[in-house]
Amino acid sequence: MENNPSISISNPHPSGVDIIQKTGLILFSVGLLLFLIASTGTGMKYPVLLLSLSIGLSVGGAFIYFFRKYLTKSAGVKNDQIWQNSLTSRGVFAWLFGIFLTGFYIVIYWFPSVLENLIRLMDPLSNLIRGNDSDQWFLYGTLYTLAIGVMGVKALLKYRHSNYQIIRTSSIIFFQLGFAYLIPAVLQLFNQPEFYFSYFWPLKYDYLFPSTVNYLTEQPGALGVFMVFWGAAMIFVATPILTYFYGKRWYCSWVCGCGGLANTAGDPFRQLSDKSLKAWKIERWMIYSVLVFIIITTSFLWINSYYNGSVFGNVSGPFANTYGFLIGAIFSGVIGVGFYPLMGTRVWCRFGCPMAAILGIQQRLFSRFRITTNGGQCISCGNCSTYCEMGIDVKAYAQKGQNIVRASCVGCGMCATVCPRGVLNLENGPLKGRVNDNPILIGNKEAKLNL
Ligand code: SF4
Ligand code: SF4
């Protein structure tokens, strides 16, 4: 405090980076540098050493930095200069980072040969856990899992005061590492189809396409049939049941890797989501259009398959290809992650994900989940709205004492975590009365607001 240049006693300037943090940053930079050197093909005679050093140093350095940074100050969001920092307020660095991320996705989807040396760098790890050489998707999956793991540890440290955030973040890391990385790899090691048990149609849109279903059911043994059964049972049976009990959060904030990346690596950008009514309208049009698109595509493919191509002829194939290109690659990948620094972290989840559309309809119509608000306690600080990654103006509900029952709410719980007055509570309860219109309490009186 003695070096605190701020006159504020509640929110002092963050202290400078100390020697331990600097050491972490240096190690992280060296690891990153080795990765860049490997991308030029240098040092590939020793791939195991290079891979171990680049991952070990960057992960170790990041951990040292985060542990030192977050354990030396109190837990929680600090509002510390997010609107002054160029990276977190759509400044020059945000644009540069956005261009870098977008470029990376374009390269990995359409020009993977540019990454050939990095793909080869992953060969030792790929051979160890999958039994074959790496490809661009193994490289991508490894980086993705590392991003969720490392930034997940940061989230655990930052939000360590909240049991909800600790359990939720641990769940995200568990499902990404186990279900979206190791299990599909080990399946390949045993000559089984690569299958992601934590992704279902329509998010993993081809899992109910006739070609995938036929491929899986024709596999020797019963595992392929089980995979088809699992995918169908999860979307048609388990999803409505779990959403009834817990809201869409059971998937969007606890299991899904897209939401997982948003809530860990994307955490510094969550305040950038557009809270305007216009954005809400666009969101509803877009997300349900994508859902209709994938339902039509899947139906066309099945009808065509049933009638041996005599009904839709060549139409269904291009439909599926168009969906794969526009939605599967450009929207969910290039825009969904590439635009984190400009439009916030849930661009895909909010505007494009057809799984979110289904979960949202169920959540709005028949879920026990709601966020209750105690309007009399709200001081209108706006923290909740600022940090809502789904662009919900939480404050407007809190001021009215109205429950939040919105299709888009992913139940990340951050609004409640950042609320200084404990106004918001994530709850499961009876369906009856969950959509309310409570008047705000002012002393012993009440006032109705028409927002
Ligand atoms: S909205 Fe879609 S992509 Fe986002 S977390 Fe939910 S299911 Fe996953
Ligand atoms: S309303 Fe709260 S729980 Fe729902 S998405 Fe926004 S911040 Fe997360």
- 449: phi > 0 → left, psi -120 to 50 → alpha, else beta; which? beta
Which is it for the CA torsion 151, 154, 158, 164, positive or negative?
A: positive
Residue at token pair 């985060």: 66
Q: Which ligand is nearest to the CA of 275?
A: 2
Atom of ligand 1 nearest to the CA of 353: 2
User: What per-residue confidence (pLDDT) applies to 319?
Assistant: 84
C-alpha torsion angle, residues 187, 176, 349, 335 (rounded to 10): -80
Mean pLDDT, the chain, rounded, equals 91
1 pLDDT band, cuts 50/70/90, is very low
Peptide bond into 202 cis (omega under 30): yes
CB atoms inside a 10 Å sphere around CB 174: 15
For residue 406, the CA-to-ligand 2 centroid distance in Å is 9
Q: Which ligand is nearest to the CA of 199?
A: 1
Q: How many residues does the chain have?
A: 451
342 or 79, which is more confident: 342
34 or 439, which is more confident: 34
Yes or no: say if 429 and 436 are a contact pair by the CB < 8 Å rule: no
Residues at CB less than 6 angstroms from ligand 2: 371, 388-390, 392, 394, 404, 409-415
What single letter denotes the amino acid at residue 47?
P
Average pLDDT over residues 188-192: 95
For residue 173, the CA-to-ligand 1 centroid distance in Å is 15
pLDDT, one tens digit per residue, over 145-157 is: 999 999 999 999 9
For residue 142, the CA-to-ligand 1 centroid distance in Å is 20
Query: 245 pLDDT exceeds 80?
Result: yes
Mean pLDDT is lowest, of 8-12, 173-177, 223-227, for: 8-12
For residue 323, the CA-to-ligand 2 centroid distance in Å is 29
For residue 61, the CA-to-ligand 1 centroid distance in Å is 30
User: What per-residue confidence (pLDDT) applies to 73?
Assistant: 87
User: What per-residue confidence (pLDDT) applies to 226?
Assistant: 97
Atom of ligand 2 nearest to the CA of 408: 5
For residue 421, the CA-to-ligand 1 centroid distance in Å is 29
163 or 78, which is more confident: 163
Mean pLDDT is lowest, of 67-76, 134-143, 386-395, for: 67-76
Q: Which one of 261, 335, 349, 361 would you pick to mutate in the ligand 1 pocket, going by the greatest count of ligand atoms within 8 A of its CB?
A: 349
User: What per-residue confidence (pLDDT) applies to 2?
Assistant: 45
Task: Judge if the beta carbon of residue 356 lies within 6 A of ligand 1.
Answer: yes
CB atoms inside a 10 Å sphere around CB 151: 23
43 pLDDT band, cuts 50/70/90, is confident
User: What per-residue confidence (pLDDT) applies to 154?
Assistant: 97
Largest CA distance in the chain: 80
Whole-model pTM over 0.85: yes
Nearest-CA residue for ligand 2 atom 5 is 409
User: What per-residue confidence (pLDDT) applies to 243?
Assistant: 98
For residue 158, the CA-to-ligand 1 centroid distance in Å is 23
Beta bridge partners of 428: 369
User: What per-residue confidence (pLDDT) applies to 8?
Assistant: 58
Atom of ligand 2 nearest to the CA of 424: 2
Q: Which one of 164, 253, 390 would you pick to mutate in the ligand 2 pocket, going by the greatest count of ligand atoms within 8 A of its CB?
A: 390
pLDDT, one tens digit per residue, over 257-315 is: 999 999 999 999 999 999 999 999 999 999 999 999 999 999 999 999 998 877 777 77
Atom of ligand 1 nearest to the CA of 259: 5
445 pLDDT band, cuts 50/70/90, is low
Residue among 354, 414, 374 nearest 390 (CA): 414
User: What per-residue confidence (pLDDT) applies to 451?
Assistant: 45
- C-alpha to C-alpha distance for 390 and 266, rounded to whole angstroms: 13
Beta bridge partners of 445: 442
What single letter denotes the amino acid at residue 247?
G
CA distances from 312 to 193, 297, 301, 305 (A): 29, 11, 9, 9
Q: What percent of the chain has pLDDT over 90?
A: 80
Query: How many Cα atoms occupy the beta-carbon half-sphere of 361 within 13 Å?
Result: 11
Backbone angles phi, psi at 446, to 5 degrees: -135, 150
pLDDT, one tens digit per residue, over 385-441 is: 999 999 999 999 999 889 999 999 999 999 999 999 999 999 999 988 888 766 555
User: What per-residue confidence (pLDDT) applies to 311?
Assistant: 76
Average pLDDT over residues 120-133: 96
For residue 357, the CA-to-ligand 2 centroid distance in Å is 16
For residue 7, the CA-to-ligand 1 centroid distance in Å is 42
Q: Which ligand is nearest to the CA of 409?
A: 2
User: What per-residue confidence (pLDDT) applies to 14?
Assistant: 54
For residue 251, the CA-to-ligand 1 centroid distance in Å is 7
User: What per-residue confidence (pLDDT) applies to 80?
Assistant: 73
Average pLDDT over residues 371-390: 92
Task: Judge if the beta carbon of residue 357 lies within 6 A of ligand 1.
Answer: no
Question: Which residues in 321-342 are b (16+ Cβ under 10 Å) and which e?
Answer: eebeeebbbbbbbbbbbbbbbb
Task: Judge if the beta carbon of residue 251 lies within 6 A of ligand 1.
Answer: yes
Residue at token pair 């309208």: 281
- 406: phi > 0 → left, psi -120 to 50 → alpha, else beta; which? beta
Mean pLDDT is lowest, of 87-101, 169-183, 423-437, for: 423-437
Task: Judge if the beta carbon of residue 349 lies within 6 A of ligand 1.
Answer: yes
Query: How many Cα atoms occupy the beta-carbon half-sphere of 225 within 13 Å?
Result: 4
Nearest-CA residue for ligand 2 atom 4 is 409
For residue 242, the CA-to-ligand 2 centroid distance in Å is 18
User: What per-residue confidence (pLDDT) applies to 408?
Assistant: 96
Average pLDDT over residues 62-86: 89
Structure tokens at 257: 């890797």
9 pLDDT band, cuts 50/70/90, is low
